[in-house]
Amino acid sequence: MKKVNILMAFLLFIAISLQSQSIKQDLDRLSKQHSFTYEILESGDEFTERFLLWFEQDLNHQSPNGAAFKQRVFLSHRALDRPMVYVTEGYWANYAENPNYKNELTSILDANQIVVEHRYFAPSLPDTSIFDWQYLTIENAAADHHRINLVLKEIYKKKWLATGISKGGQTAMYYKYYYPNDVSVTVPVVAPLNFSKEEKRVYRHLENVGTAECRESIKSYQIEMLKNKKKYLKRFKKLAKSEGQTYDKVGGIEKGYELTVLEYSFAFWQWGRSCAKIPSFDVGADRMIDHLNNIAGINWISDQGIANQQPFFYQAMHQFGMYGYDISPFEEWLSFDKNPTFEFTFPEGVEVVYNPETHYKVDCFVRHRAQNMIFIVGGIDPWGAPSVDLSLETNSLKIVKKGGSHTTRILNLPKKDRELVISTIREWMR
């Protein structure tokens, strides 16, 4: 009995040591070997330690030891005996500056957490002297994530799970394709897999989503805004001026106005807006334009909006694919003679050629070979229309939330689906 008590005390001591052990000494050691620096951050309420790491990454991983840039990585430490949730962000990681930020899977698994800012999103971008758009590729971003994984796995030896939302979910898919053994589980959330610069599945989705009455209300609002453009354009210009928005890249403010109205239906369903809040047409120009701004955003395709999202637009028109706008119901009131797509967002002086080859490879891999993936999709979200279709050849799951928008997450799924997702992930993470 005494030996049992001694053994239990020893195991308890080991468990407490694992919980309280600082990883600073490990970061000191690894930073000297693997070209990264770090700084200590406020730990927050949920973690014992937090760090901001700056990884030196090759600008082109296909030609290593050339030009490099520094990539921002947020590491939130709980304990060495806990799993790792690896957030493959597709944009900036500014939200991860919050010491209390946790991905929902970090909470579900009581895990450690890493959030990686995507390359070419400030401040994780090359200096102007070496900046070159051709190195913003799916392949290079996946290699960024692989390198970070290899280094930090020297500290965190329990199982890893990769996840991301929207473009971050796409990033998690690509990472799984190129490095299938880096993590045990991959959970892309509301992530599309497009095959065109003008994804026609989105058009079909918008023609059938929701109720016929709601779709008709949306269409009527758009027709009103285009048919009586002169009535509303003055207010649009005034609002754009007050917010510092210009529209030179798209061909002038009138085209900017038209595209914003065309965006309205996509944005409406993307964010799950209420049909009851579509205004009647007698409320005045100010309220009609304010509603347009609240739903579609007048900065969506302004010069400033494009500059802010330039890496996204470049990737969309180079490898990811994108949607366009079906003008057939509105042709008589538009200055466009064909469905607009997003070529106007190209970086100045840069030729962008769309090549979906990588997406075809990722799609084939996910359908037929990838294991331990769970796809979370919003049922009314237009980005769900080009979501992955799974075969029966893998153990992966696709969960579609009926009525769910782009804000669909694991924790807001219906109870049965939520419990299935969580229990499956926990089983795979054992």
Q: How far apart are CA 298 and CA 352, in angstroms?
A: 25
Task: Kindly report, residue by residue over 47-103, the tens digit of the pLDDT.
Answer: 999 999 999 999 999 988 789 999 999 999 999 999 999 999 999 999 999 999 999
Amino acid 273: pLDDT: 98
160-165/112-116 β-pairing? unpaired
Amino acid 66: pLDDT: 86
| DSSP letter (8 states) at residue 318 | I
Task: Kindly report, residue by residue over 381-419, the tens digit of the pLDDT.
Answer: 999 999 999 998 999 999 999 999 999 999 999 999 999
Total structural domains in the chain? 2
- 340, 366: one domain: no
DSSP of 8-63: HHHHHHHHHHHHH--SHHHHHHHHHHHTEEEEEE--TTT-SEEEEEEEEEES-TTS
- 137, 275: one domain: no
Entry pTM? 0.94
- 332, 318: one domain: yes
Amino acid 14: pLDDT: 45
185-189/160-165 β-pairing? parallel
- 184, 283: one domain: no
Query: Which of 318, 345, 372 marks a domain boundary?
Result: 345
CATH number at residue 373: 3.40.50.1820
- 215, 317: one domain: yes
Give the structural domain span for 256: 200-345
- 174, 317: one domain: no
Task: Kindly report, residue by residue over 21-57, the tens digit of the pLDDT.
Answer: 799 999 999 999 999 999 999 999 999 999 999 999 9
Written as one letter, the residue type at 68 is A
Element (H, E) at 186: strand 185-189
Residue 313 scores a pLDDT above 60: yes
Amino acid 16: pLDDT: 43
- 39, 171: one domain: yes
Q: How far apart are CA 105 and CA 128, in angstroms?
A: 37
Task: Kindly report, residue by residue over 257-295, the tens digit of the pLDDT.
Answer: 999 999 999 999 999 999 999 999 999 999 999 999 999
- 215, 183: one domain: no
- 143, 223: one domain: no
Query: Which of 293, 311, 345 marks a domain boundary?
Result: 345
- 112, 136: one domain: yes
- Local confidence band at 2 (pLDDT 50, 70, 90 cut-offs): low
